[in-house]
């Protein structure tokens, strides 16, 4: 097929008109939308968050470049997707996360999570979450050690665990540097926190997951530019709210209300930036609703019934795994087509 031919008449299948949007343009805008979150993370956690985000992004880009070269292909770094994966991974890790583990996470996210499946467009799971799930399974302690936001010396000193030597255990942290997330406090100490201050980003957690208002704003930017489908986010949040309300009504003592569920953990961040991965999510509008609601339901189910305080990551990975099936079950009806007689 590589022989040169003079094109006299080009016959192609539809679509014939191409919009101005291209993959790298969309991806670039997702990077823009993530930058305010990165800035907020750095403002909250200082040097450690800045270095963490730099390292995860650099690892992802380098892995993608090296992987493409090793398989004898043109490097696909320019489509910005590896940058997004790196930023998402960094934003989903605790701010004081040891850097050498972050490098492992970036390698796993891109090499097996994306390149082995065939690169952008073929990955079954959101690569950043593949990396994070690996880290959660490999180093369960480090990923559940959180730092309070806004420490006084955050711009002059690193969080001690950040600079752990490669392959070594992070040093046990002083109490001043650790702080349980609201979800952990609820699950293990039965302490309820007021959700509204959390919406403005005042809590501990993964470096980029806290500023709810900013996440929604950045998501709205992508939706307004038609670069992201709002249905998945809306469906996931709706599913989570409905499930949380049912749990709360059944037993108000044990289970938190919907507002708390919404503003804690990575639900807003995951629903806006992770679940909407255009490759690993369904493409039909009906499928998107099913997919989103399912993930919202699973998130709350894992939080309330499971052993882990947070369930967004596994909920999204399960949703990713189901999305080809959902697509298959929800084919759109072609324009003008009728249901065949006798079909349900």
Partner 1 sequence: MSQPQDNPLLNGLWKENPTFVQVLGMCPTLAVTNSVRNALAMGLATTFVLVCSNGLISMIRHQVPKQVRIATYIAIAATAVTVTDYVVKAISIDIYKALGPFLALIVVNCIILARAEAFAAKNSVGRSLMDGLGNGLGFTLGLTLLGTVREVLGAGSFLGLSLFGPHFEPWVLFLLPPGGFITLAAWLLIFAWYKERKTKPAPSAQDLLDARS
Q: Which of residues 283-302 bind partner 1 (CB under 8 A)?
A: none
End-to-end C-alpha distance for the chain, whole angstroms: 44
Nearest distance from C-beta of residue 195 to partner 1, angstroms: 33
Q: Does 121 participate in binding partner 1 (rule CB under 8 A)?
A: no
Q: What is the distance between the alpha carbons of residues 318 and 234, in angstroms, rounded to a whole number?
A: 18
Q: Work out whether 139 is an interface residue with partner 1 (CB under 8 A).
A: yes
Contact criterion met (CB below 8 Å) for 275 and 236: yes
- Taking the C-alpha atoms of residue 325 and residue 7, their distance in angstroms, rounded to an integer, is 40
247: three-class secondary structure by DSSP: helix
Question: At its nearest, how many Å lie between partner 1 and the CB of residue 284?
Answer: 28
2 binds partner 1 (CB under 8 A): yes
In sequence order, the 6+-apart residues with CB closer than 8 A to the CB of 327 are 282, 283, 284, 287
Distance CA 125, CA 167 (A): 27
When the beta carbons of 71 and 78 are compared against partner 1, the nearer one is 71
Chain center to CA of 57: 14
Rounded Cα distance between 175 and 162, Å, is 16
Comparing CB distances to partner 1, the nearer of 22 and 71 is 71
Q: Which residues inside 59-98 make contact with partner 1, applying CB under 8 A?
A: 71-73
Look up tokens 């509008």; give the residue: 285
User: Could you say whether residue 167 binds partner 1 (CB under 8 A)?
Assistant: yes
Q: Which residue number, 55 or 142, has a Cβ lying nearer to partner 1?
A: 142
Return the closest-CA partner of residue 136 out of 313, 318, 319, 315.
313
Q: Which range, of 4-12, 132-140, 207-215, 256-264, touches partner 1 by CB under 8 A?
A: 132-140
Q: Is 90 left (phi over 0), alpha (psi -120 to 50) or beta?
A: alpha
Q: Residues binding partner 1: what is the number (CB under 8 A)?
A: 20
22 sits near partner 1 (criterion: CB under 8 A): no
Residue 128 vs 290, nearer CB to partner 1: 128
Contact between 281 and 319 under an 8 Å Cβ cutoff? The reply is yes
Task: Tell me how far apart the alpha carbons of residues 166 and 139 are, in angstroms, rounded to a whole number.
Answer: 13
Nearer to partner 1, 101 or 267 (CB): 101
Q: CB-wise, 118 or 150, nearer to partner 1?
A: 118
Q: Which two tokens stand for residue 78?
A: 């320019």
In the complex with partner 1, the residue whose CB is nearer, 13 or 156, is: 13
Residue 119: CB minimum distance to partner 1, A? 9
Specify the stretch interacting with partner 1 by CB under 8 A; choose among 36-44, 76-84, 161-169, 267-275. 161-169
Q: Name the minimum Å distance from CB 71 to partner 1.
A: 6
Interaction of residue 172 with partner 1, rule CB under 8 A: no
Q: Out of 138, 224, 249, 321, name the contact with partner 1 by CB under 8 A.
A: 138
User: Which residues make up the interface to partner 1 (CB under 8 A)?
Assistant: 1-2, 71-73, 101, 112, 116, 134, 137-140, 142, 164-165, 167-170
């Amino acid at each position: 097929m590589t022989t040169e031919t003079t094109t006299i008449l080009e016959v192609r299948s539809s679509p014939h008109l191409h919009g101005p949007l291209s993959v790298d343009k969309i991806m670039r805008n997702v990077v823009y939308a993530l930058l305010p979150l990165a800035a907020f993370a750095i403002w909250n956690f200082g040097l450690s968050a800045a270095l963490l985000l730099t390292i995860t992004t650099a690892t992802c880009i380098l892995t993608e470049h090296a992987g493409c070269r090793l398989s004898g292909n043109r490097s696909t770094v320019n489509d910005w997707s590896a940058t997004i994966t790196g930023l998402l991974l960094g934003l989903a890790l605790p701010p004081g996360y040891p850097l050498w583990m972050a490098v492992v996470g970036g390698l796993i996210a891109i090499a097996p999570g994306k390149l082995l499946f065939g690169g952008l467009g073929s990955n079954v799971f959101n690569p950043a979450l593949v990396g994070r799930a690996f880290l959660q399974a490999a180093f369960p302690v480090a990923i559940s050690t959180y730092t309070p936001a806004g420490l006084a010396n955050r711009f002059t000193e690193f969080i001690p665990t950040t600079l752990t030597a490669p392959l070594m255990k992070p040093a046990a942290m002083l109490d001043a540097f650790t702080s349980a997330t609201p979800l952990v406090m609820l699950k293990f100490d039965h302490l309820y926190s007021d959700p509204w201050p959390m919406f403005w980003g005042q809590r501990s957690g993964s470096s980029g997951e806290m500023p709810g208002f900013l996440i929604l704003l950045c998501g709205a930017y992508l939706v307004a530019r038609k670069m992201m489908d709002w249905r998945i986010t809306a469906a996931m949040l709706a599913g989570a709210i409905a499930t949380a309300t049912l749990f709360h009504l059944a037993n108000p003592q044990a289970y938190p209300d919907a507002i708390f569920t919404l503003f804690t953990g990575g639900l807003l961040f995951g629903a806006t930036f992770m679940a909407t991965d255009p490759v690993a999510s369904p493409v039909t509008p009906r499928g998107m609703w099913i997919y989103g609601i399912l993930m919202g339901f699973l998130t709350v189910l894992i939080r309330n019934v499971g052993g882990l305080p947070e369930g967004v990551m596994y909920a999204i990975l399960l949703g990713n795994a189901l999305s080809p099936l959902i697509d298959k079950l929800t084919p759109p009806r072609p324009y003008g087509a009728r249901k065949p007689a006798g079909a349900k």
